[in-house]
């Protein structure tokens, strides 16, 4: 019991209150099964993407010793294909009957043919054992690209885990009766929760990128140059769809409904609309899920893919390949963030605890 009875209080700043909400929301996430689930999903996705090529005997780098069967190219030269991608030109060593042949004036590597060309007649080499030794290494950009195709999917999963029911769960689980009668503005509470969801989701995306960096260094000895740029776009995409998830959370009455609607909107409804655009020739630049591809396409920032049209006359249709324009997509994502965050904050503020 108290010694002196009631005490007059001075409240902390809005920022302090927001950070307090964020801290305890994070604590909740860290102790929930969702965090474990999200980490498990990320590790599973990364592991599958990484292991499947290895399981299909397609290593990311290595050394190959290949016996060549030289075929005539001209009266003075012969060739054979190396039958492998991403060969390190400098690593190629050619030997005939066990004796290494110097490259200068004796043989060349044709990257366009992906073949070794020896300056000797094929007939002269008949009966001799011609062997090529070489290293191969997949470019770091290609390595990262195979993972980045799943970046937007993974970001959406994180949002479903950490954002879809962030607001509505307070009402459904009745914890609002504990939190809301406190001297804290609903807007501050909203921002604290939003920040916590963003940090939790971004941590998972960071884990995804971190695993890619580690695997890339181990497997191909380098990291894609534009991976940090890709991460920045991924973070922007994350925060923009988090705003959409919070909007859904502010209008729904139950956690399950909010999670299911967010999941289907991001994984089915918007992608279907996007697909219709690819067939009908309309670039859906305004869809937030379309802008999510920026995390993948930005890896080719120096040779950014351009929209293309593929016609299939025999099939009777045309397929349009659209890529998000970086500038437009950034504007779209920021617009989604501002509009949906503002609406959901307003709805959260007005929503009454009537149950």
Min dist CB 276 to another protein, Å, is 41
**Residue 253 phi/psi, 5° resolution?**
-105, -15
Identify any residues that bridge with 71 across adjacent strands, giving them in sequence order: 79
Min dist CB 184 to another protein, Å, is 5
Closest to another protein by CB, 303 vs 350, is 350
Distance between CA atoms of 21 and 1, rounded to whole angstroms? 28
Min dist CB 242 to another protein, Å, is 21
Min dist CB 178 to another protein, Å, is 4
Closest to another protein by CB, 3 vs 310, is 3
Cα–Cα distances (Å) from 162 to 158, 215, 269, 278, in that order, read 6, 26, 20, 31
Closest to another protein by CB, 127 vs 183, is 183
Closest to another protein by CB, 4 vs 57, is 4
Q: Which residue carries 């949002």 as its tokens?
A: 159
Min dist CB 275 to another protein, Å, is 40
Contact 292, 331 (CB under 8 A): no
Closest to another protein by CB, 11 vs 54, is 11
Distance between CA atoms of 170 and 172, rounded to whole angstroms? 6
Min dist CB 183 to another protein, Å, is 4
Nearest to 97 by CA among 120, 81, 75, 76: 120
Distance between CA atoms of 128 and 115, rounded to whole angstroms? 18
Q: Which residue carries 């695997």 as its tokens?
A: 215
Closest to another protein by CB, 163 vs 292, is 163
Give the residues lining the site for another protein (CB under 8 A).
1-2, 4-12, 16-17, 20-21, 24, 27-28, 31-32, 173-178, 180-185, 350, 352-354
Min dist CB 182 to another protein, Å, is 5
Nearest to 291 by CA among 251, 325, 249, 268: 325
Closest to another protein by CB, 33 vs 303, is 33
Min dist CB 8 to another protein, Å, is 6
Distance between CA atoms of 339 and 243, rounded to whole angstroms? 8
Give all strands (DSSP E) within the chain, no chain letters.
Answer: 61-68, 71-74, 77-81, 93-96, 99-101, 107-110, 115-118, 130-137, 308-312, 317-321
Beta strand pairing call for 107-110 and 71-74: unpaired
Burial class (CB in 10 A: 0-12, 13-18, 19+), 213: middle
Beta-carbon count within 10 A of 110 CB: 13
Min dist CB 278 to another protein, Å, is 44
Q: Which residue carries 């809301």 as its tokens?
A: 180
Closest to another protein by CB, 27 vs 40, is 27
Closest to another protein by CB, 26 vs 243, is 26
């Amino acid at each position: 019991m108290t010694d002196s009875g009631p005490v007059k209080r001075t409240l902390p700043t809005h920022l302090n209150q927001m950070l307090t909400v964020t801290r305890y929301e994070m604590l909740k996430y860290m102790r929930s099964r969702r965090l474990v689930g999200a980490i498990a999903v990320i590790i599973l996705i990364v592991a599958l993407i990484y292991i499947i090529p290895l399981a299909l005997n397609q290593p990311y780098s290595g050394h190959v010793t290949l016996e060549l069967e030289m075929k005539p190219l001209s009266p003075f030269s012969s060739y054979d294909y190396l039958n492998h991608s991403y060969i390190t030109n400098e690593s190629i060593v050619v030997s005939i009957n066990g004796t290494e042949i110097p490259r200068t004036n004796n043989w060349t590597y044709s990257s366009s043919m992906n073949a070794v060309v020896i300056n000797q007649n094929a007939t002269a080499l008949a009966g001799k054992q011609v062997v090529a030794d070489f290293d191969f290494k997949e470019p770091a950009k290609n390595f990262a690209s195979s993972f980045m195709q799943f970046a937007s999917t993974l970001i959406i999963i994180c949002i479903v885990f950490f954002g879809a029911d962030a607001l509505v769960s307070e009402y459904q689980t009745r914890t609002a009766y504990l939190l809301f009668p406190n001297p804290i503005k609903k807007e501050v509470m909203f921002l604290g929760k939003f920040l916590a969801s963003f940090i939790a989701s971004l941590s998972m995306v960071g884990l995804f990128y971190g695993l890619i960096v580690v695997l890339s260094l181990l497997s191909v000895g380098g990291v894609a140059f534009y991976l940090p740029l890709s991460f920045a776009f991924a973070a922007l995409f994350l925060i923009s769809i988090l705003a959409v998830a919070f909007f859904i959370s502010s209008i729904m009455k139950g956690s399950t409904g909010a999670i299911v609607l967010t999941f289907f909107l991001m994984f089915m409804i918007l992608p279907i609309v996007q697909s219709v655009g690819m067939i009908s020739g309309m670039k859906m630049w305004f869809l937030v899920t379309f802008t999510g591809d920026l995390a993948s396409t930005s890896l080719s920032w120096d040779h950014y893919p351009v929209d293309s049209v593929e016609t299939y006359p025999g099939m009777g249709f045309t397929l349009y390949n659209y890529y998000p324009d970086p500038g437009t997509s950034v504007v779209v994502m920021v617009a989604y963030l501002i509009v949906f965050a503002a609406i959901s904050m307003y709805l959260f503020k007005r929503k009454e605890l009537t149950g």
